Amino acid sequence: AAPLGGRGGAWLTLAVATLLLPRPVLPLGLADGGVRTTEVVGRQLIVDGQPIHLKGVNWNPVPKGGTHPKDLNFRGFVEVDSALMAGAGINVVRTYETIMDRDVLDCLWRHKIYVLNSVYINANDPVDVVVEKVRALRDHPAMLMWVVGNEWNYNGLYA
């Protein structure tokens, strides 16, 4: 079995800020025509009217001996990793790079795993990439939150 990919490091994300700051109900149009709603009540995340307790991991599937991001392989690891994660009770993954492959998102969703998808990692990328990524994926049921930034001590987003 392939190991769960990942790397350490401190991170502050929009997803965390969403849980700490009061927000309105946010509707998300889904591919099946339905609408997902997400809101924060106190410190509780509510998805489609139901409270959810997130149990997650940072998922960065790079094979042993590989390097990030050159050897990042969501498609090659998703079948085994999602089964392992679901078996461990994990219901959300946070990524270091955007998962744009809908087949990968489909596999995660079959295992009832939500995605906190990184859409903007550092200030070297044009801001327009965020809009393109969100528009391309916003109707997928696995999408729960968009992550902006990683390892804020060097990403240049706060400068």
Tell me the pLDDT tens digit for each residue of 56-88: 999 999 999 999 999 999 999 999 999 999 999
Task: Tell me the pLDDT band of 103, cut-offs 50, 70 and 90.
Answer: very high
pLDDT at 10 over 50: no
Residues 6 or more apart whose Cβ sits within 8 Å of residue 148: 13, 14, 118, 119, 120, 130, 157
Most confident listed range (15-29, 65-79, 111-125): 65-79
CB-based burial label for 135 (10 Å; 0-12, 13-18, 19+): exposed
pLDDT value of residue 28: 59
* Mean of the per-residue pLDDT values of the chain: 81
